[in-house]
Structure 1
Amino acid sequence: MTDTAPRPEDFSGTGPDGRVAVVMITHNRRDEALLALDRLRELPERPHVVVVDNGSADGTADAIRGRHPWAELVASPVNLGAVGRNIGIDRVGTPYVAFCDDDTWWEPGSLRRAADALDAHPRLGVVTGRILVEPGSREDAINAELLHSPVEGPAWMPGPALGSFLAGASVVRRSAFRAVGGFSERLLLGGEEELLAADLATAGWELVHLPGVVVHHQASTVRDPHLRRRHGLRNTLWFIWLRRPLRAALRRTRDVVGSAPRDRVTALALLDAVRGAPWVLRERRPLPEHVERRFVALEESQRSSPARRYVS
C-alpha cells in the first residue's frame, strides 16, 4: 500500500484530518484497551485506528470486535511486541502514523499539530510530544529532558532536536519508518526506540520534540515491571553493541551496567544480552560520525536522568 495524499479540505480547521492514522498495540489489557479506543473515537481528527492485539488471553480481541467494530483489528496469535506496530503501519495508507499504547491517549488537536509540522518540514521523520501523567495531568519527568535536549539539529527544526523518541508519544512519517525497516524483531518491547531512531538519523531523518503535541499516560496496573526492566536493559546493551563505535560502546556498557541494581533481574538481563552477542556481532554497523555525535551529547543526561533508571 502506498501513502495517500489527502485533499486540503481533509485537514483544515478542526474537522477530520486525513493525514494521520493511529496504531495501537495491546496485550492482556482488555479494559484499558477498550477505554483507549473510547478516547480515540472522540478525537476531532477522526483517525483511522488499527489495533494489534498481541496474543492476548483475556478476551481483548473479542471485546474490541463487540464494542469497537469501527476500529481495524489485527489479532495476532502470538505476542509480537513492538513489531505489532510494524504490522499496523502496513495496514494504513496515510503519510503519518501516531503510535498509541493501551494506557495512553492523544489530546484533541495534537495529531493535527504533529501532521502540520511534518507537512512543513519534509526531512522530519518523528514528532515526539509532551507527556502528562494521569491522574492529575502532571508533567512527566522526561519532558524537561526533551525540552532541553543537548542534541544539535538544523536551524529549520520547529523544536528541540532529539536523539531518540518515545513510541507511545510520537507521530512518525510512514515512508521513513518503513524505509529503515521499522522496529526490530529481536528487541520485542522495552527501549526498542533507540535502535530505530539511530537508523532514521543515519538515513537523514530528523526527530523533534513539540510541547504543543500532548499525550496523556496513565500507567497500567497490568504489567510485569521486572520483565520490562530485564528487556529494557538487554535492549539498551544490544543497541550499544550494534551501533556505537568501540570506545563509546565500552564506555556506555560500563555506565549502564554500573548504574543498574545488583539483583537477579539485572543478572538475567546481562545473561540475555550476552546470549545475543553472536547475532549482534553479525549485524553490527557502527554509526556514522555525525549521528554518533548525537548519542555522545546524550550521555550525560542518560547517566544522571531520574527518568531513565533501570529499576522496578
Structure 2
Amino acid sequence: MGNAEGGRVTVVVATRNRVDELRRTLRHLEKLDPRPAVVVVDNASTDGTAEAVGSAFPDVLLVRRPHNTGCVARNTGVLYADTPYVAFCDDDSWWAPGALERAADALDAHPRLALVAASVAVGEEERPDPVNQDLLRSPLPRSEGLPGPRILGFLACAAVVRRSAFEEVGGFDALLFFGGEEALLAQDLAAAGWELCHLRDVLVHHHPSAVRPPGVWRRSLEERNALLTVWLRRSPGTVLARTARLAARSLHDPACRRGLAGAVARLPSAVRRRRPLPVRVERDLTLLERA
C-alpha cells in the first residue's frame, strides 16, 4: 500500500464493534500533516464498521477479517504497509500532530531502534497516563546514542515500530489473542538485538471507549497472558515463582483463577514454543521487576 504524500509511517488500526469511536479516530488521523496512510483491520465487526469505513473514508484501506483474530489483526495490517515504519492505533486513540514525524526522525537516526513508545494523554482533560512516568523513569541502563530511556514495555496503541524488526520477530503472538500482548513482543525484539525507547514528546490521545469488555474478563486475560509470557520466555526460577504466585492469588480472586485456568489450557502450546531469553534480557527484566 502506498502513501500518496511519500510519508514514512503507516497507521494500523485494529477494531471490533466500535464504529462511532473508529469514526472519531479516523477523522483525527485525516487532519494530520503530512497525512499518513491508514489501514483499518476489522475483526469481524457486526455493527456496520466495514460499511461505515468504506463509505466515509475512501482513502483508508479496509481489511475485513472473517473472525476475530485479536492482537494478530495488527500483524495483518502491517502486511499491507510499504512504509519503513508502522504506528499502531486503537479505535479509541489517535496520534497528535507532529508525533509520527518525531518518531520517524528518531528511527531514521538510530538504525538499531525498533520501537518508539509515546506518551499518552487520557480523556478530554488530557490526563497523563501513569505509564508515562513508568517509561520515563526506566531503570534500565541507557544505550549510547538512544534518544530516550531504554524500555522493555509499551502500550500497543502508542507505539511506532520499524516494520522490518516487527516482521523479523513475528509481530504479536496469536497464542495471547488479547490483553498484555505487548510484553512478549518487547522481549522478542530485545532478544533479537533491537532497542526500544520512550520519547516524551511523541504524543497519543486516548479517549477510552464506552464499549469495553467486563473488567473481570479483561483482567483474567491479562493474568493469563502474563503467565504465558513467563512460560514462553523466562528463566525456570521465574517460571516457578510466577506460577506459584498466581496459583496462590487464584484462591481468592476470580480473575486470577480464570487466568490460571486459561494459561493451563494453553500450556502444551507454550511448551512447544518456549524460547528462553538471552541472559542480558533476563537481567534487564529482573532489574525492572525489582524497581
Is residue 2:221 matched to residue 1:231? yes
Contact kept, 8 Å, 1:96 with 1:173, in 2: the verdict is: yes
Farther-moved stretch of structure 1 (28-37 vs 248-257): 248-257
On the 8 A contact 2:246/2:260 being kept in 1, the answer is no
Cα distance between partner residues in 1 of 2:227 and 2:178: 14
Tell which deviates more after alignment, 36-45 or 151-160.
151-160
Query: Residues 129 and 276 (structure 1 numbering): CA distance in 2 closer, same or farther, change over 3 Å?
Result: same
Separation (CA, whole Å) in 1 of partners of 2:142 and 2:270:
29
Equivalent AA in structure 2 for residue 131 of structure 1: V
Secondary structure, aligned partner of 2:256: helix
Contact 2:250-2:260 within 8 A present in 1 as well: no
Would the aligned equivalents of 1:17 and 1:46 in 2 still touch at CA under 8 Å?
no
Are the counterparts in 1 of residues 246 and 256 from structure 2 also a CA contact under 8 Å? no
Match of 1:219 among 194, 203, 208: 208
1:33 to 22, 35, 40: 22
Q: What is the CA–CA distance in structure 1 between the aligned matches of 2:217 and 2:8, rounded to whole Å? A: 36
Q: Answer whether contact 2:223 2:255 (CA < 8 A) is retained.
A: no
Q: Distance in 2 between matches of 1:255 and 1:205?
A: 31
Letter paired with 2:128:
E
Tell me, yes or no, if the aligned pair for 2:119 and 2:199 is still in contact at 8 Å.
yes
**C-alpha deviations, 1:192-235, integer Å up to 9, x for none?**
11111111111110000000100011111101132221211111
Q: Distance in 1 between matches of 2:251 and 2:80?
A: 41
Deviation at 1:260, TM superposition (A): 7.1
1:269 correspondence with 2:254? no
Query: TM-score, normalised on structure 1?
Result: 0.89
Deviations 1:147-196 (A, max 9, x none): 00112231211100001221110000000000111111111111111111
Q: Does 1:148 align with 2:133?
A: no
Report sequence identity in percent: 50
User: For 1:131 and 1:17, how far apart are their aligned partners in 2?
Assistant: 27
- Contact conserved, 1:50 with 1:71, CA < 8 A, in 2? yes
Query: 2-side partners of 1:169 and 1:261: how far apart?
Result: 35
CA distance, structure 2, for counterparts of residue 261 and residue 104 of structure 1: 36
User: Among 218, 235, 247, which residue is 2:237 paired with?
Assistant: 247
Q: Residue in 2 aligned with 1:189?
A: 178
Evaluate the alpha carbon distance shift between residue 204 and residue 45 of structure 1 in structure 2; reply closer, same or farther with a 3 A threshold. Answer: same
TM-score by length of 2: 0.95
Deviation at 1:259?
6.2
Q: Distance in 1 between matches of 2:180 and 2:188?
A: 14
In the alignment, the residues of structure 2 paired with residue 219 and residue 73 of structure 1 have an alpha-carbon distance, to the nearest angstrom, of: 23
How big is each residue's C-alpha offset from its partner over 1:91-135, in whole Å with a ceiling of 9 and x where there is no partner?
010000000000111100000000000000000000000011112
Q: Secondary structure at the match of 2:12?
A: strand
Match of 2:74 among 85, 94, 98: 85
Equivalent of 2:44 in 42, 55, 59: 55
Structure 2 counterpart of 1:174: 163
Q: Which residue of structure 1 lines up, in the alignment, with residue 94 of structure 2?
A: 105
Which residue number in structure 1 is paired with residue 284 of structure 2? 294
Amino acid at match of 2:74: R
CA contact (8 A) 1:30 1:63 kept: yes
Matches for 1:123-142 after TM superposition, within 5 Å:
123-142=112-131
Gap regions ≥5 residues in structure 2: none
Name the CA distance, whole Å, in 1 between partners of 2:66 and 2:223.
Answer: 27
The letter for the 2-side match of 1:237 is L
**Alpha carbons 2:249, 2:256 under 8 Å: kept:** no
- Note if contact 2:19-2:47 (Cα within 8 Å) is conserved in structure 1: yes
Deviations 1:8-62 (A, max 9, x none): xx9xxxxx56111100001010100111100011111210000001011111111
**SS of structure 1 residue aligned to 2:64:** strand
Of residues 176, 196, 217, the one that matches 1:207 is 196
Q: What is aligned with 1:24?
A: 13
